[in-house]
Chains A and B, each alone.
Chain A
Amino acid sequence: MGAERNTAAVPTAAPRSGARVVLGLLWSDKFAFVAALFLIFVVSCAVFGPLLLGGTATSMNLRLRNFPPFTLDHGWLFVLGADSLGRSMLARLMVASQNTIAVAAAAVAFAMTVGGVLGLMAGFLGGWFGNIVMRLADIIMSFPSLLIAVVVLYMFEPRVANLVLVLGITRMPIYMRTSRAEVLEIRERPFVAAARVMGASSFRVVFRHVAPTVLPTLTTIAALDFAFVMLAESALSFLGIGIQPPEITWGLMVAQGRNYLNVAWWLAFFPGLAIMLTTLSLNLLSSWLRIAADPTQRWRLEIPRGRDG
């Protein structure tokens, strides 16, 4: 299996290391390259931002209330202006990135794990269990996820854990369906039959032999889903039932800035821009990944681009 993948990754005779090949493929799609750089920047903001700027983001300076952006009069921290309490927008954006990313990552991880396992079992066991799982997926999918989230978040208090749970559950169906469909095909393959003949239990067959084969597909979906979950979390925080103040996320910052639209447009504009650029980068990168991972399409990235077409 490993050897097979290696030969596929090296297209020409010249032996090159895996990382070099990936970087080369990335460099040939400039949009994807910029997107990757931006995502690295956002992730480092999320990891280090609160450590470095946690104090700055909450320190108020009432003389700088609604200070306009794009001037360096008060240092680079105020280059994106200040909010209605004179707190640095740049510092707040960086601190908010941690909550935004963490909630989305946790929700996607939850959806992928639970949805994936349910789908695996549905595909492998079939019968009434498989039917129930599929109907469950239908129910979740057929109804606007935002409204389910609103009902549930009113029932429990809008704490971070509940938010993650709700976002995760509404995104589960896609993993349930995909892993079930993959299992239905994989379980007919010889290596599964071989494992069975050698006396492996159903549990072992599913989690030891089938699951690793399904995992790459699920991971690809998860990358795209991350963008979707981020948008959903922002919408919930915007409606006031996501993350609660004093915690901040980008969506909540848009909601808070909405009240100052007439006097300070930057309060709502920059956090929304951050959401959009992050989801756009994720989408650009995953569409690059689809081409790079597809042997029949990869040549598009490998040929030197002389002229378009």
Chain B
Amino acid sequence: MGTYLARRAVHSFVSLAGLLILVFFLARLTGDPTNLYLPLDATLEARQEFAERHGFNDPVIVQFGRFLSGLAEFDLGTSIRKHRPAADVVLEAIPVTLGLAAVTMIVALLGAIVVGSLAAYRPGRIFDRLASVISLASASAPDFWVAITAILLFAVTLGWLPTSGTGGFAIEYWIMPIGVLLIRPFGLMVQVVRGSMLTALSSAYVKTARAKGVTERAVIFVHALRNGMLPVITVASDQAAGIANGAVIVETIFGWPGVGKLMIDSILYRDFAVIQASILITAAVIFTINIVVDIAYAVLDPRIRHH
């Protein structure tokens, strides 16, 4: 287990390095930010001075070297848009997205476990067929369209919820973003839970449990669910990147100051330092989640633990 985790960590590190190199050079190819930040009639000297100050005059490879040496001291550069350390800008946005993602994941996971288990308990019945179609529909929904339709219905027409913005912990600001974000992971996970619970419920150990007179509730939630959870956890961890995708859309539409919106804005403004910092930190978070999931796997499944 220890060696496995170590290997996993090394792999993650290599992937992270590859990603970073890719993004560094790709971002540099998107164009010169000088024209975006200086007025059109800026003098040549002013342009030179701007490029010099931010180091855009040096060859890209020199810029990359400077980036690496900064990285060794945990210095991710300065945001040319906000005139602050890029790391600070990103670290401010991370909690917003993480909060959004965490609440979404918990609600989607709990909902999927309940709906999927109930559907698998009596396969082919009306609830099962309904759950199948609804979960397929929600896995097929374009999230940006759902967001717009929800704004139209709940904010514009009915006036129940605010159209956008964040209000700290005020629940009415959270309902629509969470609702939109959880649609796809929920749909996918209902199907996975249903599938793995079907297998678990027809297994020998469930028959044994029933035969020795264990209550039906214990059979479902203790015997079957604990075994049925393993594939669900794999899918849930794969959803981490998917939720980050959704967060870009949701944060843009609902005006949440999270990492997704920050990245889109930084790309628009060619704010290279922030692009690199946010990709580095987001990828690190996703890799950490993957490793945590591996550990959770081992805790849940003794067969892996004893390997």
- Interfacial residues, chain A to chain B (CB-CB below 8 A): 31, 135-136, 138-139, 141-147, 150-152, 154-155, 227, 231, 234-235, 238-239, 251, 254, 258, 261-262, 265, 268-269, 271-273, 275-276, 279-280, 282-284, 287, 300, 308-309
The answer on a CB contact under 8 Å between A268 and B148 is yes
Chain B interface, DSSP helix/strand/loop, else mixed = helix
Q: Does B290 contact A (CB under 8 A)?
A: yes
The answer on a CB contact under 8 Å between B286 and A143 is yes
CA distance A269 to B263 in the complex (A): 28
CA distance A265 to B151 in the complex (A): 11
CB distance from B267 to the nearest CB of A (A): 6
With A135-B18, A139-B18 given, can you name 5 additional A-B contacts, CB distance below 8 Å? Answer: A139-B15, A142-B283, A143-B282, A144-B241, A144-B282
Contacts of A152 in B (CB 8 A): 26
CB distance from A291 to the nearest CB of B (A): 11
The answer on a CB contact under 8 Å between A239 and B264 is yes
The answer on a CB contact under 8 Å between A284 and B142 is no
CA distance A173 to B26 in the complex (A): 20
- The total of interchain contacts (Cβ-Cβ below 8 angstroms) comes to 136
Contacts of B263 in A (CB 8 A): 147, 150
The answer on a CB contact under 8 Å between B145 and A276 is yes
Q: Select one of B124, B152, B248, B282 contacting A308, CB under 8 A.
A: B124
The answer on a CB contact under 8 Å between B142 and A234 is yes
The answer on a CB contact under 8 Å between B264 and A150 is yes
- Interfacial residues, chain B to chain A (CB-CB below 8 A): 11-12, 14-15, 18-19, 22-23, 26-27, 29-30, 122-126, 129, 132-133, 136-137, 139-146, 148-149, 151-152, 156, 241-242, 244-245, 248-249, 252, 260, 263-264, 267, 275, 279, 282-283, 286-287, 290
The answer on a CB contact under 8 Å between B279 and A147 is yes
The answer on a CB contact under 8 Å between A279 and B19 is no
Contacts of A309 in B (CB 8 A): 122-125
- Once A141-B241, A142-B283, A147-B248 are accepted as A-B contacts, the answer to whether A155 and B30 lie under 8 Å apart by CB is yes
Q: Select one of A142, A154, A251 contacting B142, CB under 8 A.
A: A251
The answer on a CB contact under 8 Å between B19 and A139 is yes
The answer on a CB contact under 8 Å between B252 and A239 is yes
Contacts of B152 in A (CB 8 A): 261, 265, 268-269
